[in-house]
Amino acid sequence: MRGLEGKPVIVTGGASGIGQAIVRRLTKEGAVVGIFDINGQAADAAARELRAGGGRASSHEVDIVDYAAVERAVEAFEATAGPIAGLVNNAGWDKAVRFVDSDRDLWRKIIDINLWGPLNVTHVVLKKMVKHGSGCVVSIASDAGRVGSSGEAVYSACKGGIAAFGKTLAREVARQGIIFNTVCPGPTDTPLFATVTESAGGLTDALKKAIPLRRLAQPDDYPGIVCLLLSDDANFITGQTISVSGGLTMHG
């Protein structure tokens, strides 16, 4: 894809699942990737593997809920990779429970990771993008934020917020040459999905039957659209929310 060669890109939650798949594809496209992850050992291992294969990647242990830690990690990445040209807000977490059975501690954790975290990282990175007049941001939300998902009320609220956040910033910074888009995954076969659905017997089979393409998504189903939106091939696409769900949800 045009324009990814040598482009410094940060991917949060890039050590596993969808984030790791995105990182792998970005390095194949020639991007210089910073893997931001709370699991430092996993981030180190992922970066070493990519470098061994000829990719350019660095690891940064960071809790995105901590604004000051995000600032330090962004500065460290930019010091070696150059001005940040791309950001993928991918890190997320959830625990499935009916809202009436949940408590404020759970709400706080879900909101911290899925809303405050992307706000923190975007705020730090966007100031730098505005300064040098270009940049692309892709946030990984969820179809739960578009159509709801039983047992994920607070998570859905956060992901809907991320989509609205991206549309608003797409308007605010368009004249500074900065592009914002949001990708909404459907049910995806990841460790997080297994954790969320472990108490709901038969849910996976039911979802497969409901999805027109008759399977759960795999992490490798997302890097293509993310890399496209970060590339020069999509430099007239901004403020969009794109569902990648095998047809489970459709809009347009």
Distance of CA 192 to CAs 96, 197, 233, Å? 10, 9, 31
Distance of CA 9 to CAs 40, 93, 121, Å? 18, 22, 12
Annotation marks residue 67 as catalytic: no
Q: Determine phi and psi for 164, rounding to 5 degrees.
A: -65, -40
Structure tokens at 37: 């992850």
Q: How far apart are CA 141 and CA 243, in angstroms?
A: 9
* Catalytic residue (choose from 77, 155, 165, 193): 155
Indicate which residues carry an active-site annotation.
Answer: 155
